[in-house]
């Protein structure tokens, strides 16, 4: 769920607003809960999922999806980063690390995804087929 922080220019009240979706945010006119003014400064702070101390790896699948659907590269990069670290991966795969770095630098998700697909196509070992072995048919 997107969360945005604002400071009211009239009364200097700082507050956070939550939106169900990014579309709701686009449609909304935020106003100060204290004085009702709409003359607000948006505080550039990380949204809810990136709050210090919040364990992203503990996110529900739905929350993760909302991050991914949000399409914010840096946010997704942070998600990757934390998940990679908290998963206890000692040697995080180079690809994973690269992907995370790219996202954190703000590279578009589509571009990063395409790069991954190309890498996968080029570098997949020929023995990657993991078909379960069927027991040989025995005809009595
Ligand atoms: Zn106010």
Ligand 1 centroid to Cα of residue 64, in Å, is 33
pLDDT in the model for residue 25: 83
pLDDT in the model for residue 6: 92
- Same domain, yes or no: 58 and 96: yes
Q: How many domains does the chain have?
A: 2
Distances (CA, A) of 65 to 8, 58, 82, 87, 100: 31, 13, 15, 18, 17
Whether 121 is in a domain gets the answer: no
Whether 74 is in a domain gets the answer: yes
- Can you give the residue range of the structural domain that contains 54? 48-109
CB 38 within 8 A of CB 18: no
Ligand 1 centroid to Cα of residue 49, in Å, is 26
Ligand 1 centroid to Cα of residue 108, in Å, is 36
Q: pLDDT category, 54, cuts 50, 70, 90?
A: low
pLDDT in the model for residue 126: 53
- Same domain, yes or no: 39 and 73: no
Tens of pLDDT, residue by residue over 88-112, are 555 567 778 888 888 888 888 888 8
Whether 11 is in a domain gets the answer: yes
- Same domain, yes or no: 52 and 98: yes
**H or E, element range at 3:** strand 3-8
pLDDT in the model for residue 47: 47
* CATH number of the domain encompassing residue 17: 2.20.28
Whether 128 is in a domain gets the answer: no
pLDDT in the model for residue 86: 67
- Same domain, yes or no: 52 and 104: yes
Whether 140 is in a domain gets the answer: no
CB 13 within 8 A of CB 34: yes
pLDDT in the model for residue 12: 94
Ligand 1 centroid to Cα of residue 54, in Å, is 28
- Same domain, yes or no: 30 and 73: no
Whether 76 is in a domain gets the answer: yes
Q: What mean pLDDT is predicted for residues 82-91?
A: 66
User: Which residue in 46, 52, 16, 51 sits closest to 33, CA to CA?
Assistant: 16
The DSSP code for 133 is P
């Amino acid at each position: 769920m997107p969360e945005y922080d604002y400071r009211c220019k009239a009364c200097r009240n700082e507050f956070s607003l939550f939106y169900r979706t990014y579309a709701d945010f686009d449609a909304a006119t935020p106003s100060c809960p204290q004085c009702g003014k709409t003359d607000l400064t948006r505080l550039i702070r990380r949204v809810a999922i990136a709050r210090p101390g919040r364990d992203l790896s503990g996110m529900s699948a739905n929350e993760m999806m909302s991050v991914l659907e949000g399409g914010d590269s840096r946010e997704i990069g942070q998600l990757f980063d934390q998940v990679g670290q908290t998963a206890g991966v000692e040697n995080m795969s180079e690809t994973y690390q690269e992907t995370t770095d790219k996202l954190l630098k703000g590279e578009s998700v589509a571009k990063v995804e395409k790069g991954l697909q190309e890498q996968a196509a080029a570098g997949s070992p020929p023995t990657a087929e993991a078909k379960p072995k069927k027991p040989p048919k025995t005809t009595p």
